[in-house]
Amino acid sequence: AGAPVTDWALYDTFYTERYLGNPNQDSKPYDVSSLLHDAARLERPMLIIHGLADDNVLAAHSLQFSTALLHAGKPHEFLPLAGVTHMTPQEVVAENLLLHQLQFLQRSLNA
């Protein structure tokens, strides 16, 4: 998962309130769409990659999801990228990320 939205309550209210309503008036749409509650349902290893300078989807999404996966005892890897925003403009970083993803898939699928 690359910079995933895991809890809409953490996302920009201008966007989310248009679709999910005001969480102060009705938090149910936010609760039922949060992946944090579903961490225990993960059946396969997961790779989470997130730029720590991401101002679109804050790194808190991935950090909280990783914590939920740890609490549930689910196998995953978390790769935080210092100085990277939502998408890396650096070609060498993008290339190495693809290699890392490929190696993760090879390890996970051969296990």
Dump pLDDT digits (tens) for 25-52. Answer: 999 999 999 999 999 999 999 999 999 9
End-to-end CA distance of the chain: 19
Statement: residue 110 has pLDDT above 90:
no
Q: What is the pLDDT of residue 111?
A: 62
In this predicted structure, what is the pLDDT of residue 107? 93
Query: Are the beta carbons of 53 and 83 closer than 8 angstroms?
Result: yes
Domains along the chain with CATH numbers: 8-110 (3.40.50.1820)
Q: How far apart are CA 82 and CA 79, in angstroms?
A: 10
Q: pTM of the prediction?
A: 0.87
* Region for 87 from its dihedrals, namely left if φ exceeds 0, alpha if ψ lies in -120 to 50, beta otherwise: beta
